[in-house]
């Protein structure tokens, strides 16, 4: 899906017209039409405005992900960062993965999730 297709999809889902979006972005209605027909691409500043207005990521607009709100670290991906003893438990967790997180930061997040889960299970056992 091209950027124009995504812009059109977001605009129609939000039920706003091309002229309304053009006014919000500070461009002409014909520019919006050209974006939506994939005849022209918005510049970086406009891409950021579009992402902010529709509350989606620029990665989504640019087609780098199909998740409009951000990349999600799946359970399988999270498992890569958990210690072996944690992998034995079936842990259902989703973490929003920011594109600029390093491997080290992801491991830290996984460790924190594991610690919080361990605390939770310890409290549950204590209160039985």
Q: From 3.55.50.30, 3.40.50.2300, 1.10.3720.10, 1.10.260.40, which CATH number describes the 3-61 domain?
A: 1.10.260.40
For the stretch 20-29, pLDDT in tens is: 999 999 999 9
**Domain segments of the chain as ranges:** 3-61, 71-126
Tell me which long-range contacts 117-124 makes (C-beta under 8 A, separation of at least 24): 117/86, 117/89, 117/91
Cα pseudo-dihedral 71, 72, 73, 74, rounded to 10: -140
Residue 51 parent element (H or E): helix 44-54
For the stretch 47-103, pLDDT in tens is: 999 999 998 889 889 988 877 766 555 555 556 656 665 555 555 455 555 566 677
Q: Are 70 and 96 a contacting pair, CB within 8 Å?
A: yes
In DSSP terms, 73 is beta-bridged to 95
């Amino acid at each position: 899906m091209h950027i124009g297709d995504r812009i059109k999809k977001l605009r129609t889902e939000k039920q706003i017209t091309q002229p309304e979006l053009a006014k919000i972005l500070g461009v002409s209605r014909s520019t919006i039409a050209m974006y939506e027909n994939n005849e022209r691409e918005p510049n970086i500043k406009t891409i950021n405005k579009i992402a902010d207005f529709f509350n989606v990521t620029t990665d989504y607009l640019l087609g780098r992900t199909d998740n409009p709100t951000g990349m999600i670290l799946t359970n399988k991906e999270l498992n890569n960062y958990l210690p072996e003893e944690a992998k034995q438990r079936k842990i259902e967790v989703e973490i929003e993965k920011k594109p600029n997180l390093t491997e080290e930061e992801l491991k830290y997040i996984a460790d924190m999730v594991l610690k919080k889960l361990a605390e939770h299970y310890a409290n549950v056992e204590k209160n039985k």
